[in-house]
Amino acid sequence: MNAGFFKRFLAFGVDYLLVSLIVGIVTMGISTTKVDSLNKQLIELENKAMSGEMTMEEFANQSTSIMYDLEKASLPSDIVTVVIFIGYFVVFQYLNKGQTLGKKLFKIKIVEGKKKESPRFITIITRSMLIDMILMRLVIIVFAIALDS
């Protein structure tokens, strides 16, 4: 029997909340003073643009540079985030025969084929790359590294 959308949505919400909590705890120590400084600069620029102290063109030019530097400074925590997401949504799910903690809570799991067998590793990787937004994070990391070279 197929799980309904609402049940799957809630299971994903539980999983995403759990993984986000883990990522937050682990990457808390990775956040640098440079990231904090760049965030403050960006907020100051936004305030200047909103108050009319600078034109939108000036804001666009200055904020682009700051956002680029911010992305480079965030790279270590982005890499850790992807590793944790892959660990949970791919490895943990595979080792638990298609179930994450959220799926276990709602008594659902991923199955493959008409015989409803445990999913193959490639199936879990493919689903996770698309559904759990791991692919998007990997693309951002690759671009950040490539642009820095």
Amino acid at 42: L
Residue pair 100/87 in contact (Cβ under 8 Å)? The answer is no
Single pTM value for the model: 0.77
The confidence score (pLDDT) of residue 91 equals: 94
The pair of three-digit structure tokens given for residue 65, joined into one six-digit string: 């540079």
Residue written as token pair 């791919």 = 90
DSSP alpha helix (H) spans, the chain: 5-27, 33-51, 56-73, 75-86, 93-95, 101-105, 121-131, 134-148
Which positions of the chain have pLDDT values less than 70? 1, 31, 149
The confidence score (pLDDT) of residue 14 equals: 96
